[in-house]
A and B are shown apart, each in its own frame.
Chain A
Amino acid sequence: MKLKGWGELTPGAVILEAGNAVEFKTGSWRSFRPIWKEENCIQCLFCWLYCPDMAIKVKDGKRAEFDYDYCKGCGTCALECPGKKGQKAIVMVEEAK
């Protein structure tokens, strides 16, 4: 992408396009990666609700895979996940491993 020059910018760095966070991928910030264990998922969608970005995909009302492009690895989804019979449906693993 060609970067704009100083004369082409909006005054005060105001962003005029709504919903443009989709253009800003933050996945590379992550040091811990959430892993979805479908067998423990009760489809409560708490993860989707609590995710501060848009890393949880929902398809036809059901939990789908993570979109790691937008996951900073904050771990909120893993913390909130009630899981099944004491087994979490989301666990955090170190990226380095």
Chain B
Amino acid sequence: MAKTVAATGNEAVANALRQVNPDVSAAYPITPATDIMQRFTSFVSNGKVKTEMILVESEHSAMSACIGASAAGGRVMTVTSSQGLALMWEMLFIASGLRLPIVMPVVNRALSAPLNIHCDHSDAMGARDSGWIQLWSENGQEAYDNTIQAFLIGEHMDIRLPVMVCMDGFIISHSIERIEYLEDNEVKNFIGEFRQLNPLLDIEHPVSYGPLILPDYYMEFRKAQDEVESKVFRVVLDAAKDFEKISGRKYGLFETYRLDDAEIGLVILNSAAGTSKDVIDEFRNRGIKAGLLKPRLYRPFPYKETGEALKHLKAVCVLDRADAFGGSYGPLFIDISTSLYTYSKKPILINKIYGLGGRDYLPEHAELVLNELTEIAKTEKVKTIKEYIGVRG
């Protein structure tokens, strides 16, 4: 029997991690993710989990300890945000390159400078090509559900890759919502016993991790990793199917909202998708065929499926809560336009940068964008492809 509670996103994720009961965790506090580990370490202190908790002096060390523990043969997790993720940077590639299924909730926060503790997606977007699987979550429920599914996905014997579970800092991490928890034994059965692959601690079969691979083999290892990425989609969908059986909640590679017959649409990640859906309903009530696509599996990106879902629209706005500096478009825009590149008939695309450093994304922003899309669909004329919204001139 599921239990319904009022909880913050952080509380829900901490509870998921308690239910998973990993073998090892190493973490360093950083706002707004601190609260997850604060709760989790009290589970450790109170004997609610059997996790070996390693308190380290930096996020670089946290990820390093997680890599060691995972290579040793344990089920491992850590949590971070923003600068913490940035400090882990070089170790992220080692975790994925060594194919270690570490799970890491990332509570999305802006990057310095200027120093800011509030939500945007610059942190996880900066790590999007690090070889980690990324699941993005609209609300506390999705963050809880994705955290549990992340273990099953990353640990799958065909995959063995680390997984980030992203949720919006403060907006979700610190807001209280209605959340359904699974029973402890349901989670335990869902993720199953941790299966080791070439563990360092198997002294009967000694192995070496992290050897020097020179030009004669390096490219083959990279190609093998690229091949694994292509298997992730099926594993994510299978995990979602199994998860639906115990939770009744449906997940896919992405969520579509009133998109099938839509003429204009928004593509937007995480919490802002919720606000956008309300505004889409208002536009629908006025007879305007608006819809939405909210990516869930962002890495690897399901280019083919996303392109198929969007190709029939007349105009689409991709909203990015991060910019990709260098005179280019937002990271999500780049992926969405790539997903539509191969189609000869495709929607006109525009890109809005919103909500940086915790700037509120309000219904009127969605309204503004949908009005612009309506106009573009009618005239087929675009004024500016990329633009910041909710910013003072």
Contact = CB atoms under 8 A, between A and B. Distances in A.
B379 interface: no
Interface stretch (B209-217, B308-316, B329-337): B209-217
Interface residues of A, number: 15
A30 to B, nearest CB: 17
A18 B208 CA distance: 8
Contacts of A5: 220
Interface in A59-78: none
Given A3-B216, A6-B227, A14 B221 contact: no
Interface string A9-22: 11111111010100
Given A3-B216, A6-B227, A10-B198, A15 B221 contact: no
A6 B221 contact: yes
Interface string A75-88: 00000000000000
B207 A15 contact: yes
A18 B197 CA distance: 16
B1 interface: no
Given A7-B224, A18-B206, A12 B211 contact: no
Nearest to A7: B224
Interface in B91-106: 97-100
Interface string B187-217: 0000000000110000001111111010011
A20 B220 CA distance: 20
Contact of B198 (A3, A6, A14, A18): A14
A4 interface: yes
B223 interface: yes
A22 to B, nearest CB: 13
Nearest to B96: A12
A6 B224 contact: yes
A10 B99 CA distance: 10
B100 A12 contact: yes
A85 to B, nearest CB: 42
Contact of B209 (A6, A14, A20): A14
Contacts of B211: 13, 15
A6 B99 contact: no
A12 B220 contact: no
Given A6-B227, A11-B99, A16 B220 contact: no
B213 A13 contact: yes
Given A11-B99, A13-B98, 19 more contacts: A3-B216, A4-B217, A4-B220, A6-B219, A6-B221, A9-B217, A11-B198, A12-B100, A12-B160, A12-B198, A13-B97, A13-B210, A14-B98, A14-B209, A15-B211, A16-B198, A16-B205, A16-B207, A18-B206
